[in-house]
Every structure is written in structure tokens, then in C-alpha cells.
Structure 1
Amino acid sequence: MANKLISQMGLPLPIANVFAARSIITAKDALSIPESDLMALLDLGRDQVASAVARISEITCPPYQTVLSLMEDRRTSGCHGGRLPTLLKGLDEALGGGIPPGLLTELVGPSGIGKTQFCLKLSLIAALPTCYGGLNGRVIYIDTESKFSSRRIIEIGENSFPQIFQTEGMAQEMAGRIVVLRPASLSEFTQSLEKIKLSLIQREVNLLIIDSMAGLISGNPRENESCTRGSRQQPLGWTLSFLKSVAEFSRIPIVVTNQDLEGMTM
């Protein structure tokens, strides 16, 4: 966390430029300098420096939560909605209303069983206006196996929500709310997570989908040919821990698909 770039902290651009001009690039650089020295170095007022340091600290070290507060958050979200409905009656009843926020939800099954189709529909539901049962928000869809199909997602929308998608411009609006990333390796995937973390914590995104975790391990032969399974599991374990922490603090649903390769489920 200490090596997070200040340019990705969401500071006002003039302030961020001053930090960069003084070669204060990372959170560690800024937080290791006393505020009085930082004021002199940056030639900024106390309020400006204090505000910038508070922002950097918040992003670098998310605020702690007690077990009691976590339990209360979960109880509140369960009682007052906040879940992402799947619109499958039996499944929503079993899940207490839909995919829960603040947690990782894993979909496990063999290839071809329909995990990607399910995720495409979840993406649409999250992007739908709240009056139609959606979350009226943005979606980040991390597609590690190049299975995402824009044509298919429009077909699902037209078949599942004809009253919405027949409205002029609505299909384009829904599609514009879904951002697709296609990392080619586990390291590139980790970099993608680092870049979008701020958006997740600031709740600019209502759903994150990773389809699939298995693709990160088996999808790049050149990266994986010299790695043992154990050496690959270490960064994967860090990634899963990172995702769980982001889910907890951002309070959004995070859905991960998996193929249960050699007992690799979370």
C-alpha cells in the first residue's frame, strides 16, 4: 500500500502536480515527511497539506472496522436491501434477496455450464435503473478468457428486458455503463485491480465481476511455464485477499467464477 502512486489518489490536479514536481511520487514519500516540512517543500498552506495527507492516508490505509460494526453493516444491508437480485426467484430466495454486497460470491462449475451467461445478465441487472430492479450503476467486468460478448449481452437485454431495451438509446446507455478489462496474465490482472481500487472504494462502481480466476492461472503459457503451482498460488492468494478487503470496504457485490481446477476454489 505504501507504494501507491499519489497521481492515483484522487487529489485535485494542481495539488497532485505540485507533489509530482517535488518528486513526491508515492504514498510512502508523502507520509514519511512531517507536515510542517511538507508545507515548506510544497509551498502550500497548512489546510491544503493536511487535506492532501488525510486523503493519501485514507486511500493507503482504509479505516479500521470493529467486528461489531461489520456485523451491523451486514445486518443493515440484509434488512434494507442493497443486494443484487438475479431475477431467478428460487435463487434470490435462497440468497436472501440476491447477491450480497461487501462479500465475494464464487460461481464454480465446469466449462460450458453457463457461468459467463449468468455474469452477463448480472452485469445488465446492475446497470439497470432502480425502478426496474437494478442498481443504476457502473460495472467492471474483468474478462480473463475473452468470453465476454457485446452481441450476446444485448441479446440478453432484449430478451429479458424488452420493455427497457425497446426504448430508443437505452441499449447504448446500458452498454456504456459496463467496462470490460482483459488482462493477459496474473500480474496484469493485479495491476488492473490496483488502478480500479479507488473507483471501487469511492463507490463509483456497483458490481465487479472476475470471469474467471482459473483463466488467470492457465491462460498465459509463457508466464506460467516456468512457475510451479505453489509459486502461482502465492500471488493468487494475495489477489483473493485483496478482493475480499475491497469488497468489505466498498460494500459492493464482487462475483468471481472458477472451474475448481485441482481444488483451487476459494
Structure 2
Amino acid sequence: MNQPISSLDLTDNIIGRLQKNGFHYCHDFKENCENIPQKIHVSNWPSLTEAPSSKTALELLREEIHWQPITTFVPELDSLLKHEISPNMITELSGFPGTGKTQICFHLSVGVNEGETFFISTNKNFASHRLREIAQKCVSDMESALKRIYCVEATDPVELLASVKFLESWLPSHNHVRLLIIDSISWPLKQKPHTERASLIHTIFQNLRILASKYKFA
């Protein structure tokens, strides 16, 4: 049975452009990929069509038991986020400026148990001194906690996409990452037209979902 291109996790724009160029089914893409116009870029094609590996219910249960919740050190907030910050999932924190989203991210970074955090800062709000204050207050070994937090700055769309792409080669040698944070995904994209912004966000989320599933981070 031929799988239609429209069933894939691609933006409507890319699907429409592929169809206009005669690509309606997955086998069309595989057999004639060299004829796809260069402007139509589908870098993650193999991951879109590969069947996911299966796991038994027991394996999934063991993974769930093994997963240690990430704490914010605020009991009321931990209760709200208990089932939201989980491996293989992307969680969005939204709110008006100044409502504490970055502070929650800092607390979560410090609260990763037996693992590491990869923090992509896009709005130049990464305050290492604030992380130090949180670590000094909340954990017994401040220096060890800070050593487990990796940070990169990505202040424009190109840098943001490059940072996500970088993870593909970086994560295999850093398989203790349990949390990835982008603060914030909207900031470097705010000047882009709506359709382009939506396409970029879709691409980033698609890549993150693949990585989160493979490396089991939240």
C-alpha cells in the first residue's frame, strides 16, 4: 500500500510544493529524490517514514519507574507539573513577560536528578548568577549542579536551527541529558512572517520529538 505524502508530519506548505512537483506518495520521493527542487528541503526524510520500534508494556513500565521526576523545589508547582515534564514529551510554558517562565526553567535545570540539562538561551536572559543562587539554596552541592547544565546562545533563527542540529552529534557522547530547555522558542522568530515562523517551529519541534524519543529526555 502506498503511503501518501499528505500523511507525513510535514507542513502544508512543503506537502503542497511536493505535490505540485509530482510527489504524491512516499515511494515517489524515494525513487526520484534527486529530482526534488533544492528549495524544498526535507532533511529528516528517513525518520518520517521509518516504522517506530516496538516495546513491551513491561519495558515501558520499567522506563517509567526508572524516570525520576524533575523538581522545581516548589511543592505546589511540582504537583502541577508532576505528569507534564516527562521523557519523550515537549512541554510549553506560556505566559506574559515577567511571569516567571525563565525562573521555572532555571529551577528545573537545577532540579534534574542524576542527569544533565541542555539549555538553549535565545533572548540573552541566561543568568548564571541566578542559577548559582538557586543551586546554593536548593541543593547540597552547588558546583556539581552547575557543572551538569550546558548552555548555548542562539539569538536568531539560523543559530537556533543550528543548535538543534548540533544536538544530533553531541547527544551520543552525552547520554545523561534528561532535560532540554529552549528559552524562548518565539523570541528569535518574532520578526519572521507568520507562515515562515510556523514552518520553522514545525521543523524544530519535529527534530526535538525525534531526539527526545531517542535519548529519553524531557
TM value normalised by structure 2:
0.67
1:98-135 deviation line (CA, Å, top 9, x unaligned) = 72111111111111110101111111112xxxxxxx2x
Q: Distance in 2 between matches of 1:94 and 1:171?
A: 26
Q: Which region of structure 1 is more displaced relative to structure 2, 108-117 or 77-86?
A: 77-86
Query: In 2, Cα distance between the equivalents of 1:73 and 1:216?
Result: 39
Match of 1:84 in 2: 70
Q: Distance in 2 between matches of 1:97 and 1:236?
A: 24
What is the CA RMSD across the aligned residues, in angstroms? 2.7
| Cα drift, residue 140 of structure 1 | 1.2
Partner of 1:244: 209
Q: Of 95, 98, 103, which residue of structure 2 is paired with 1:109?
A: 95
The partner residue of 1:118 within 92, 100, 104 is: 104
Q: CA deviation at 1:201?
A: 4.9
Question: How many Å separate the matches in 1 of 2:56 and 2:212?
Answer: 12
CA deviations over 1:174-223 (Å, ceiling 9, x no partner): 222212111121121111111122333552422211000111212xxxxx
From 177, 181, 188, the equivalent of 1:216 is: 188
Partners of 1:82 and 1:73 lie apart in 2 by 16
Alignment counterpart, residue 158 of structure 1, candidates 119, 131, 136? 136
Structure 1: runs of 5+ lacking an equivalent: 1-59, 127-133, 165-169, 219-223, 254-266
Identity %: 25
Q: Distance in 2 between matches of 1:105 and 1:200?
A: 20
Between the aligned partners of 1:246 and 1:70, the Cα distance in structure 2 is: 21
Q: Is the 8 A contact 1:85 1:97 kept in 2?
A: no
In structure 1, which of residues 33, 40, 65 is the aligned counterpart of residue 52 of structure 2? 65
What is the aligned partner in structure 2 of residue 187 from structure 1?
A: 158
Count of residues in Structure 1 that have an aligned counterpart in Structure 2:
171
Query: Is the CA contact 1:123–1:207 (under 8 Å) kept in the aligned structure 2?
Result: yes
Q: Which runs of 5+ in 2 are unaligned?
A: 1-45
Q: Is the 8 A contact 1:101 1:247 kept in 2?
A: yes
Contact 2:124 2:155 in 1 (8 A): no
Does the aligned pair in 1 maintain the 2:88–2:212 contact within 8 Å? yes
- Equivalence for 2:171: 200
Mark the CA change 1:229 to 1:206 in structure 2 (over 3 Å): closer, same or farther.
same
- Taking structure 1 as reference, are residues 217 and 72 closer, same or farther at Cα in structure 2, changes over 3 Å only? farther
**SS at 2:155 equivalent:** coil
What amino acid is the match of 2:202?
G
Q: Distance in 1 between matches of 2:180 and 2:154?
A: 15
Moved more, 196-205 or 183-192: 196-205
Q: Secondary structure at the match of 2:92?
A: strand
Q: Secondary structure at the match of 1:180?
A: strand
Aligned AA for 1:199?
W
Q: 1:176 to 1:81 in 2, by over 3 A?
A: closer
Distance 1:96 1:74, change over 3 A: farther
Letter in 2 for 1:210: I
Letter in 2 for 1:236: I
Per the TM alignment, residue 75 of structure 1 is displaced from its structure 2 partner at its CA by: 3.9
Quick one: which of 121, 142, 161 aligns to 1:143? 121
Does the 8 A contact of 2:72 with 2:108 survive in 1?
yes
Where 2:180 maps in the other structure, the secondary structure is strand
Determine which structure has more spread, i.e. the larger CA radius of gyration: 1
2:144 matches 1:173: yes
| 1:18-72 deviations in Å (ceiling 9; x for gaps) | xxxxxxxxxxxxxxxxxxxxxxxxxxxxxxxxxxxxxxxxxx8698534x52876
